[in-house]
Structure 1
Amino acid sequence: MRFFSWFLLLAPVALMSACAPTLIVPIGDPQRPYEPSRPPQVGDVLHNPTGFFVDEQAMLAAAADARIVYVGETHDNPAAHRVQLRVIEAVAERHPGRVAIGMEMFVPAQQEALDRWVAGELSEREFLRESRWNEVWRMDFAYYRDILLLARDRGIPVIGLNAERDLVRQVSRQGLDELPADVAAALPEMDLDDPYQRALTTAIFAGHDAGRGDLESFVRVQTLWDETMAENIARYLGDPANAEQRMVVLAGGNHVRYGFGIPRRVYRRLPASYLIIGSKEIEVPDDKQDRLMDVELPQFPMRPYDFTVFTAYEDLPAPPVRLGVLLESAPTGVGVAGVMPDSPAAHAGIEKGDVLLEMDGTELRESFDVIYLVRQKQPGDTAQLRIVRDGTEMDIQVHFPVPDENEQPMTKDK
């Protein structure tokens, strides 16, 4: 009788408990399930799933085991590109002749120039001209020179992954259901419903100019970039002719971080083993603080990378110099449409309306020629210019000064 009474008393409690929702509190931080034993230092490599610091060789060995290795970058940090270079070298040494490099920095329309570069048929100047580097990516080639030289020296194919600019422009202006039929047909399969990707994109959008603009346009463009790169990776590796190939993918950190940008979209098309490596700047000089985005990211339920390499935010060994002119086309030579105040060109006496004919004895035919030759200069160098002004030719010497350490650069490459 006593047992029966207790049963009647407890039964309603048990039934109420069964109907109540179960609240499961996660243990620890999903992004960092094991806290490292100490704060990271520049040069450290952290294996995020275990929280252990490992040496670089352990990370490179793991990278060589995967069919696809995504290496996220900060575009203007040479330290991030050194990480990419070492990963490519390690995978190529383990799988000689069976590795390709996929790069966000190029689009498929540049593939012929990339193939000719890898084949050794183009000089650097010819490659930059034929690939339209300064139009498509617009960053100092010095950030990527060592990677592309390695590809050429070892015959490693380089695959342009990104979306063509015209397509990006149209997608940014119109919803997908409003696009002309021929434009819609050029789109990759587009998944706009990934909640994590949308949350990341929304956070980044809020950090750009206080979120002014069209959020949905921003989401469409970010998705187009990720889906296009994913499709081009899957197309290359899914080709039966490339069945034994592996790929090291170089892209901005936000395209691969947490895995829902490019990696998950590739896996939807081509299930294959992959690894994600990223770099994180933990030493940022004062003059680079403004390059860090003011973004408050959501707390995602996954690790950002398999391995994180901790770096300093560095400059190029030789900072780029600027001539300080606005260029325009001219019947012969390159026209000067404007001169920036207090620039090397202004100090040399170059004026608006001048036409640049030669630099250091090299004929100037288009803006590319001026840009390329100036980028070969270093602080402290000079250039001999032949110009024509009001029908009279004259020679002018331009001096590229060594910048004052406390002086802000005239322009910044982003």
Structure 2
Amino acid sequence: MGDPQNPYPLKAAPKVGDIMHLPTGVLVTPEQMLSIATDARVVYVGETHDNPASHRLELDVLKAMEERHPGKTALGMEMFVRSQQPVLDRWVAGKLDEKAFLKESHWFDNWKMDFGYYRDLLIYAKEHHIPVVALNAEKDLAQAVGSTPLEELSPEMKARLPEMDLGDPYQRGMAESIFAGHSHGKLVMDGFVRAQTLWDETMAESAARFLASPQGKDRHLVVIAGGNHVAHGFGIPRRVFRRIPTSYVTIGGNEIAITRKEEPEIMDVDLPDYPNLSYDFLNFLAYEELPETGVRLGIAYEPGPDKRGMQVQSVLPDSNAERAGVKEGDLLLTLDGEPLKETIDLVYGLKQKKVGEKSTLGVERDGKKLTLEVTFQKTEKVHQHGKP
């Protein structure tokens, strides 16, 4: 009788902006969804990492939760591993500016996504003193679990494991679907299942520990994570409930239109027919593009010798760098007087600039120090690593 994932299908095709309550098939307003969701102790929002519409939805949920329960809200994020918790605490306490936060959290090394996707969410948390909880497992543990059966792990690694339930058939079904048609072999797939389980169990353990802690026992928690960690409930939600039974609501998105200039990468995956709903509330979204900020210099580079500046490997033709007189082999030492000690100093500095503005580059060339002036013009986006 019907489809268990969509028991009450809509009579007309959904439009961008529609919100469907999947258990009933009823379309609701954002206000109705948020009023119902904020009744719960935990709200899980499954995101598409590179869709700004997903992140606006997350911010709307967090704002609604804070307005409903002022001073009693917290935010759990997949994007941070547990060892980053002290940095998150300093951020929320107002002890770090954005650049210092990006440096200390090693954002671009750990998550590798444009910070612009998450900036508004994290700034809101900071401005409202909302605790941000680092949920995820450390990378070295995930790598070990993905490559080694649990019983063969070292005692030190075993001691760091959360309680692991590897028997969920729906998670294995998802993994097998993703690996279908690829010649990775069973051992690799088993490793993927172990790693996926580690991520979900660690995030669930982190969330449950916070909810049971003195800091979190009276708070409502908004958890944001990739859709595969939330959809159908077998990832994080079920594993949190196993540890601390409490009320929860799941919210997700379905991109039904593409508004970005570049076609998104789409995986050719035939997922199983799960016997349960994907979310409590399904938001029909457009697949958007993150508005571009900053300017481009147009160089390939690497950190300079002895951690001094950025060594120019090549200069793109007709780029801002070429027009300013930057040459291959130059050592960029400063941008507007600010030392360039690591990559983020250059990347972050360029992100703050606008087309039409000027900057000065402190350059060392053949042992001589020069000052070059660059006027930033609009340039085409180049998808090549290390070319800001």
Per the normalisation by structure 2, the TM-score is 0.92
Q: How many percent identity over aligned positions?
A: 49
Q: Which residue of 2 aligns with 1:4?
A: none
Deviations 1:299-322 (A, max 9, x none): 101111110111111112225654
1:276 equivalenced with 2:250 (yes/no) = yes
Mean CA deviation greater in 164-173 or 262-271: 164-173
Q: Structure 2: how far apart are the matches of 1:256 and 1:329?
A: 43
Match of 1:296 in 2: 270
> Structure 2: how far apart are the matches of 1:340 and 1:255?
42
Q: Which residue of 1 aligns with 2:144?
A: 170
Partner residue of 1:147 out of 97, 121, 124 = 121
Q: Does 1:330 align with 2:305?
A: yes
Aligned to 1:225: 199
Q: How many angstroms apart in 2 are the aligned matches of 1:215 and 1:307?
A: 31
1:5 counterpart residue number: none
Q: Are the equivalent residues in 2 in contact too, given 1:339–1:345 (CA < 8 A)? A: no
Letter in 2 for 1:61: S
1:57 aligns with 2:62: no
Alignment map for 1:211-360 (pairs within 5 Å): 212=184, 214-285=188-259, 287-319=261-293, 321-323=295-297, 324-331=299-306, 333-336=308-311, 338-339=313-314, 341-342=316-317, 344-345=320-321, 348-360=324-336
Q: Which runs of 5+ in 2 are unaligned?
A: none
Query: The residue matched to 1:217 in structure 2 has which SS?
Result: helix
What is the one-letter code of the residue matched to 1:396?
L
Q: Deviations over 1:327-364 (max 9, x none)?
A: 22433632326236446545655444322111022122
Kindly report the root-mean-square deviation, in angstroms, between the aligned alpha carbons of the 2 structures: 2.2
Aligned residues: 382
What TM-score do you get using the length of structure 1 for normalisation?
0.86
1:21-40 paired onto structure 2 within 5 Å: 27-40=1-14
**Residue of structure 2 aligned with 1:389, choices 340, 365, 371:** 365
Say whether the 8 Å CA contact 1:379–1:403 is kept in structure 2.
Answer: no
Letter in 1 for 2:331: V
> Distance in 1 between the 2:372 and 2:141 partners?
43
SS at match of 2:283: strand
Conservation of the 8 A alpha-carbon contact between 1:230 and 1:263: yes
- 8 Å contact 1:336–1:355 — kept in the other structure? yes
Amino acid in structure 1 at the alignment position of 2:369: E
What is the alpha-carbon distance in structure 1 between the residues aligned to residue 288 and residue 18 of structure 2?
16
| Structure of larger gyration radius | 1
Look up the SS of the partner of 1:280 in the other structure: strand
User: Which has the larger displacement, 327-336 or 375-384?
Assistant: 375-384
Contact 1:318 1:378 in 2 (8 A): no
What secondary structure sits across from 2:200 in the alignment?
Answer: helix
Counterparts of 1:311 and 1:102, CA distance in 2: 23
Displacement of 1:246 in angstroms is 1.2
CA distance in structure 1 between the aligned counterparts of 2:293 and 2:267, rounded to whole angstroms: 22
**Whole-Å Cα distance in 1 between the matches of residues 21 and 282 of structure 2?**
7
Change (3 A) 1:302 1:401: farther
Whether the 8 Å CA contact 2:293–2:352 is kept in 1: the answer is no
Q: 1:379 to 1:80 in 2, by over 3 A?
A: farther
Instruction: Assess if the C-alpha contact under 8 Å between 1:330 and 1:355 holds in 2.
Output: no
Cα distance per residue 1:219-277 (max 9 Å; x no partner): 11111111110110011102244221110001011110110011111111111111000
When residues 187 and 355 of structure 1 are mapped into structure 2, their CA distance, relative to the original with a 3 A threshold, is: same
Where do 5+ consecutive residues of structure 1 fail to align? 1-26
Instruction: Kindly provide the amino acid, as one letter, of the partner of residue 332 in structure 2.
Output: L
Partners of 1:390 and 1:397 in 2: how far apart? 19
Point out the more displaced range, 306-315 or 346-355.
Answer: 346-355
